């Protein structure tokens, strides 16, 4: 499925009596899955591994733009204003990464490389994780978000994560915390996010995904000077389509040979385990 937002598969599924495998050219499969497919023996794979590094780099760019006051500098430049000031170190700051899959782990590794302390939030709490150290249960986010400088959402969209981050979580964050979303827009209560930004409950945001895309021109997020908005492009670096095609070709060769795929989507969970 190159267009993973297409309904073509669902529309034609009743006639697909020999279908054995569906590949989604995306990391998230929430828009692909439907009840009949979930309950079927059809194997589903996704583009695991393709977007890890680009999205991690994008997250780091959001962090640097906020820490180094880049939004203010661009505004000053437009106004031809010389405004010398100190900015923030990122070393020693703390990041909570909500979503502990391949992309979340890629983010964790790159943030640790610049001396940012990382903690994960996933489907279950655990300690001793290779990339995160400690992982908290994402269902208890409001109890844990205080003290983090960066709260990064890369959670898959499932029934359990829809509007996972809402008013209670934002109210519990530090008023200097920056919220970053490079996952799915529907994992966030957007109205609660707008309120948190407007009322100073959090310090800012970097947003690549939204519950409505394109983001409407009249949306209040556009006019907030502590928000960076990008159009769902965090994974799209030069050559990304070719990398997707090469991955599909490799998987197709394995499929023809009857070999086991290196990864498959747990259709009931909605992500690769």
State the catalytic residue, choosing from 48, 66, 105, 184.
184
The full DSSP string for 6-28 is --HHHHHGGG-TT--EEE-SSS-
Let me know if 184 is a catalytic residue. yes
Which residues are paired to 171 by β-bridges? none
State the catalytic residue, choosing from 109, 232, 243, 263.
232
Nearest to 27 by CA among 61, 60, 52: 52
Which residues are paired to 96 by β-bridges? 119, 151
State the catalytic residue, choosing from 143, 213, 246, 253.
213
Residue pair 156/133 in contact by the 8 Å Cβ criterion: no
Nearest to 230 by CA among 196, 199, 185: 185
Residues with a catalytic annotation lie at 184, 213, 232
């Amino acid at each position: 499925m190159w267009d993973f937002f297409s309904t073509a598969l669902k529309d034609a599924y009743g006639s697909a009596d020999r279908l054995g495998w569906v590949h989604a050219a995306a990391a998230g499969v929430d828009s692909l899955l439907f009840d009949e497919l979930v309950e079927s023996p059809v194997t589903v794979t996704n583009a695991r591994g393709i977007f890890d590094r680009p999205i991690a780099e994008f997250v780091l760019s959001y962090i640097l733009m906020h820490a180094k006051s880049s939004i203010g500098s661009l505004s000053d430049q437009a106004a031809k204003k010389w405004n010398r000031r100190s900015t923030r170190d990122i070393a020693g700051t703390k990041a909570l990464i909500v979503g502990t899959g391949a992309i979340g782990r890629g983010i964790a590794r790159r943030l640790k490389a610049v001396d940012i302390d990382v903690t994960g939030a996933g489907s279950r709490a655990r300690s001793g994780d290779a990339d995160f150290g400690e992982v908290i249960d994402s269902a208890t986010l409001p109890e844990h978000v205080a003290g983090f400088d960066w709260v990064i959402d890369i959670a898959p969209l499932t029934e359990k994560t829809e509007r996972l981050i809402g008013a209670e979580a934002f109210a519990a964050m530090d008023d200097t915390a920056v919220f970053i979303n490079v996952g799915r827009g529907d994992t966030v209560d957007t109205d609660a996010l707008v309120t948190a930004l407007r009322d100073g409950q959090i310090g800012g945001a970097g947003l690549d995904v939204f519950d409505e895309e394109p983001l409407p021109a009249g949306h209040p997020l556009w006019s907030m000077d502590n928000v960076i908005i990008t159009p769902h492009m965090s994974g799209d670096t030069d050559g990304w389509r070719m990398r997707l095609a090469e991955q599909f070709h490799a998987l197709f060769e394995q499929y023809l040979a009857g070999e086991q795929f290196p990864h498959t989507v747990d259709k009931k969970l909605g992500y690769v385990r």
